Amino acid sequence: MFFNIRVNTNSLSDGLSYLEKVQIPFAVSLGLNRVANDAQKAEREHITKSFHLRNKAFNLNGIYISKADRATKSSWRVVIQVQADRDYLDRFETGGYKMPSKGRFLWKPNPEVFKGGIIQTGNPLNPHNLHFTRRGGSLQGNEQTFMVKTKKTGQTLVLQRVDRGLSKKSQRTVGKMNLDSFKGGMGPAEKREKYSLHRNVGIRMLYQLVSRTTIPASLEFVPTITRTVNAQWSVRMQEAMAQAMESAR
């Protein structure tokens, strides 16, 4: 026995047409925008770990996706950029050298004095606030600073006179001392006597004057974005397709 069954495929065709024209473009744009958010977040996290940021929020917000650069149903494209007013970050992508924009030298700060190498303009030890002048054959500045040139390398250093207080080691030692263990104490001398106090030399280095400094390739914008997109694209696209199918019901 043979028989024929006829079905109306118009509804199926209409459904496929709807998915092709509306839901699939929606899903792709949704997936692109979400993976772009992942990449933006990854780069911001990398910058936080790799840089000493003077203005953290300002610099992190420079890793930017404008509304006009977001993906839409008709434009499957997202642009992640470093904003123009933060383009100083660009030099850390390839690295290289920083050269003086004015004068002959760059002032390289001593990290033991200036933690993170950031010297605000309001800091009295900022180079612009020292105002060096020649006095008695030497260059001297504010805050008891002066310049010297080393005999061995000919390098120019900016030094500062400071009080001859206890050295850091001696400051830690003070709490361990007693009359028997302190040289020169009032107690009887013993073989275990070992503590004595020393003062610092009264001078510290603030800056080295150098012709250029190395700029590390620490931004890693391209590899970080690429790595994140490759890792997250499949996951985000599956999520977007599931959401698009759910909303089509």
Largest CA distance in the chain: 123
Lowest mean pLDDT among 14-18, 57-61, 140-144, 205-209: 14-18
Question: Is the pTM above the cut of 0.75?
Answer: no
Q: What is the pLDDT of residues 147-194, one digit of tens each?
A: 998 888 888 999 998 876 666 676 666 666 555 555 544 444 555 545
Cβ neighbours of residue 88 closer than 8 Å, sequence gap 6 or more: none
Specify whether the CB–CB gap between 155 and 208 falls below 8 A. Answer: yes
The DSSP symbol for 146 reads E
The DSSP symbol for 68 reads G
Q: Looking at residues 237-242, what average pLDDT do you find?
A: 90
- pLDDT top residue among 67 and 136: 67
pLDDT at residue 113 in the model: 86
For tokens 């990290």, what's the residue?
A: 111
Report the 3 state secondary structure along 84-136: HHHHHHHHHHHCEEECCCCCCCEEEECCCCCHHHCCCCCCCCCHHHCCCEEEC
Q: How far apart are CA 183 and CA 245, in angstroms?
A: 84
